[in-house]
Each structure stands twice: as structure tokens, then as C-alpha cells.
Structure 1
């Protein structure tokens, strides 16, 4: 990787996922067919519940990154199609489990699956999708791919448990928060990109570059998500604004606002995170207190920093549609809050 700091966006105007989608569209159709086929079951609730989320308007960003990384490496085969489906199944399974843990009411703008089918069925269908993902990995036959994706799955689970441990703990540090979001979000982005280098039989330096691209993109993506909870609207997020606040999640905007606040502000945050102050008026006050100390803006600036690291990670790859689309994907990820 070069030491030069490269711009996040390669062209003027609002960033979009369209270049990425256009790049991978034919292969993504194949991936979607695999997803549809593999989520079927004789137990009717399984495809119904899984389809509620999988067909619920998700961007398929992680499998698209697997496909785009293969394009970047000029890989001409199709092994990565099943692996892209496995990546999406892992992601979907974690979302189903998250909604049960968090008691979420919305996901991707629709009623959360656990509110329709119940917590038990939702957890078990999540387990089913994890199993399908591992079936696809085994069918691929690469022990290295299996190691990368299985390790990512384990780290994601650890990250979710770690986030649960930090919930309503106001003393959570920025370093601990970064560890959590790296585990629960960025690791799957990294694995999704890295496995294409394995399939394309490129060296460890290429694997490391794609891992770095995905990991830094994933951190930037989650930072923006956490800022949007205080700066965006529910329709844009596909969930209710303020969910993180009411659940007592220690995201970076809260950590910065607490650290920078005076004694009165700290008392407010201690009460809010403990669950004593979680009304709509309290949420509005939280936003104002964040804005007063620049917590939201600085969270977004950190996202841009990690976005630049992602772009730097693929700087030495040849110019072309794949590199351009992956660069614009970073720009899209960090511009979503505007």
C-alpha cells in the first residue's frame, strides 16, 4: 500500500451504489438464485421468515463486494457466486439474532421478523441460515475460505456479546467501541473481500489489501450508521430514529458527548444511558448536546478517515471499472448521513 492519501470519491456529485451494481449485476442475479434456492425448506415458516428479511430491500452490499473484488482481480470463474450467497446468509442470520436481542420493531423499513413469528422461530431460522452458509462453504472445497468465513462468524458473535456487555455502561471507551464495531460489522466486510483473492489464487499481499479495504469500509459504514441514529430519519435508516439511544448503546457520538460534556451534561448522559431518561424530549436533548460539542460531526469525520484508508488499500490495483466502483462505494458509505 502506498503512503499517499487518495480521495474517497472518484467523480463529482453524490456518490451512488449504481456503479457497483452495474459492475456485478449478471453475477448478482446468479447469487440471488442461489440464495432463493438455498433458503427453501419443507418447514414453511423457514422460507417465509427468511424471505421477509432477505427480500426486504437490503442492498446485498457484502456479496456485491465479493463479486466486485473478483472483478478487480480479473477472476473469470464462478466459485465466488456460492460464496457470495454464504456471505449474505451469515449477514442475514446475524440480523435476525440482533433483532431478537435488541427487541427491534423495524428492520429495513418493515416490521421486524421476531414481532411477526416470535423470538424462538426467528433465532432458529437464523441458525438455519448459518447452516446453509456453511454448506455452501464446504461445497466450495477450500479450507482457507472455510477458515476465513468461519472465523469471521465466530468474531461477529463475540462482537455482539461484547456489545451486550457494554450496553448501558457509560464508562465504555472509544477503543472498546472500535473493537466492538470491528468485530460485529467490519470483519464480515473484510472476509467478503478477502475470499475473492483466495478463489482467484492471488498471493497473501492481495488478500491483505482486500481485507484492509473491506475492514476499513466496514468501520466507516458502522460509524455512519451510529451517527445517523442521531442525525438521520427513520425512513432513511429502515428503523426507528433513536433506537440506539433508548437501548442504551454506547456508540461513538455518545462516548464523545459524555467525554466532552461538563458536569451537568455528564449527569444527563449517565441518566439517559441507564434508561432513566429515554423519552422523545430526552432524545431531542441528546441530539442538541451532541451538536453542542461536535460529537456527530466528529463521528462522521472518523468515518471519512476510515474511508480514506479503504481507498488507500486498493490504490495499487490497476485502474478500471472495478476499482472505480469500489472507490465510489466507499464514498457512498460515508455520504449517507448527508
Structure 2
């Protein structure tokens, strides 16, 4: 097996990285996963499939279940247990999005009106609970206590991460280390679990299981870092959500943490007022974006994302070269290069 460092660079044809190779190697499996998702989101209560379908069919990348399928391809798994488990991963993710939108009061999700705006907060929370329950049904049907432990632990960690983010909201003193802990929990934990369970169902050795966990965890951190950079570097049409949502909600993401650390005394006073909620107008957002640009905070955030993406790629070095490994490396490249 190769133990070389895998360079994180552009493809040989110098084209920007895409998810296309990942989509190609997981296409057949995703058809099965989507069938499970469609089946298990049904209910005799019409509102449940309507609300769940609003988000599930809303154009998401489905990256997390794809990680489960790609990991299975990487380790040569020949069964089909991972299809239901990948659907469980997507249900967990969708449930957290529904709950997040209620907590944040979001108006847009993936370029459409958020479910809470259309259906109301109570229904959105309850359908999120329904999807969590469906996820756990799928886990128990699989029958593996190890898989159940990995995914249930990830679910608990995600919830802890969301509470930690809420606790850090409007606190200008939040450190970069604390921020990384938060996104490691609220985002990277599910990426890690989604990747790891493919090694478990394939009965791989501990080193391969750890490698897939490391890949997913580092990819998840890189993905969230770029998400947070995009909030100050893209328009609403690209992002699929309102520009400046993080700013108005007083979230201490890395671009803000860096801008505050690098700013003048006057700039720091602006940030204190903005994060505390006293400077939240469109003009204030424009000023915040200018300060972040002045101190190269978006590029610095993306540079940190590249570091974690490289770690994700390096984690796969214990596996032989293959289409699956190349696709997973390119997915890490895409996570950093994307603008949406």
C-alpha cells in the first residue's frame, strides 16, 4: 500500500476541482439511497413528507451520504448495508438543518424559502424530530451496535456543537481554538461518522477505519471554514441563503475572529458593537465586509481550509491508488475551491 503524501492540487487538465468524480463512483448507490430516503420520509400525516421533501429535494449536494458510498467503494465493500446507513446519515443532516433554521430564524435555505418560513417553527422542529427517529430506525435495522454507537455519538456531538455555537454567539472574545472546537462538533463529526461506517460494514482493520474517520473529520472542518468564508465573499444567489446571516446573528466565525484580532482599536470597537447586535444594518454589513477584505481574512480562512483539506487527502494515503481515492481527494479540493 502507498504511504505517500497526496498533493492537494488542481487536476492534471488544470480544470478546477469538481464533485463529478465522486458523483460518478456513487451514482448507482445514490439511486438506492434516494429510494430509501423517499420511502422512509413517508407518513400518514401529509405535512411530514411535504415539509421533509421541501428540504430533501431542495438541491443539496448530498455530500455526507456520498462519503459513506465512496468509502465503501474505496475499501472494496460488496454488500448493500451502506445504502440504508447513508440514508440515515442524510436524515440526521436534514434534521439538524431544520432545527438550525428555527434556531437561527433563517429565511432562505438552498436558495428557497426555509421550511420554518413556509410551515412554521413548531412543524419544522417536529419533522426534524421525525427524521432523527427515522435515522435511528435505519441504524437499528442494520443490526450493528458499532455502527449505532458511531452514528448516535455523532448525533449527540452535533447537538453539543450547536449548543456551543449558541453559547458563543455575540461573544467577541471567542477564540480561534474555540471556534474550531465548535465546527469540529457541529459539522465535522457527521462527516467523520459518515466516512467511518463504510469501513465498519466492510469489516476493515482499525487503521483503515481511523483513516476514513480522519478523512471525513478534516474534510468537514475544511467544508465549514469555506462556508463561513463564503458568508462574507459571495452574493445571495450563489450562497442559497441571505448574505450576512452570520453577521446579523452575531456568530463568531473565523473571518470575524481574524478581522477583530488584526484590526485597529477603532475597528475593534466596530466589531464589538456589531457582534453585540448594535450595528447590524446593510451599511454595517458592507463595512464589515470591507474590514474583512482589508485584512485578507477570507483568504486566511480559505488557507486554513486548504490545510485541513490536505490532511483529509493525506489520511487516504494508506489506501492503494484507485478511482475512489482520486474522487475523494478531489472532493477535498472542491470543498476548498467552491464559491457556494
Q: TM-score, normalised by structure 1?
A: 0.98
**CA distance 1:319–1:2, change in 2 (3 Å):** closer
Structure 1 unmatched ranges of 5 or more: none
In the TM superposition, 1:237-252 aligns within 5 A as: 237-252=239-254
Q: Show the counterpart of 2:294.
A: 292
Deviation at 1:5, TM superposition (A): 5.9
**CA distance 1:77–1:101, change in 2 (3 Å):** same
Check the 8 A contact 2:11/2:17 in 1, yes or no.
no
Q: Show the counterpart of 1:213.
A: 215
Deviation at 1:276, TM superposition (A): 0.8
RMSD over equivalenced CA pairs, Å: 1.2
Deviation at 1:236, TM superposition (A): 1.5
Structure 2 unmatched ranges of 5 or more: none
CA distance in structure 2 between the aligned counterparts of 1:9 and 1:92, rounded to whole angstroms:
31
Q: Show the counterpart of 2:86.
A: 84
Q: Show the counterpart of 2:33.
A: 31
1:177 aligns with 2:169: no
Q: Show the counterpart of 1:140.
A: 142
Q: Show the counterpart of 2:257.
A: 255
How many residue pairs are counted as aligned between the two chains?
A: 338
1:234 aligns with 2:207: no
In the TM superposition, 1:52-91 aligns within 5 A as: 52-91=54-93
Check the 8 A contact 1:194/1:207 in 2, yes or no.
yes
SS of alignment partner, residue 310 of structure 1: helix
SS of alignment partner, residue 243 of structure 2: coil
CA distance in structure 1 between the aligned counterparts of 2:187 and 2:64, rounded to whole angstroms:
10
Partner residue of 2:320 out of 318, 324, 334: 318
CA distance in structure 2 between the aligned counterparts of 1:312 and 1:287, rounded to whole angstroms:
34
Check the 8 A contact 1:8/1:311 in 2, yes or no.
no
Q: Show the counterpart of 1:130.
A: 132
Q: Show the counterpart of 1:4.
A: 5
Q: Show the counterpart of 1:42.
A: 44
Q: Show the counterpart of 1:108.
A: 110
Q: Show the counterpart of 1:332.
A: 334
Deviation at 1:293, TM superposition (A): 1.3
Deviation digits for residues 227-270 of structure 1 (CA, Å, limit 9, x no counterpart): 00000111121101100001100000000000111110000000
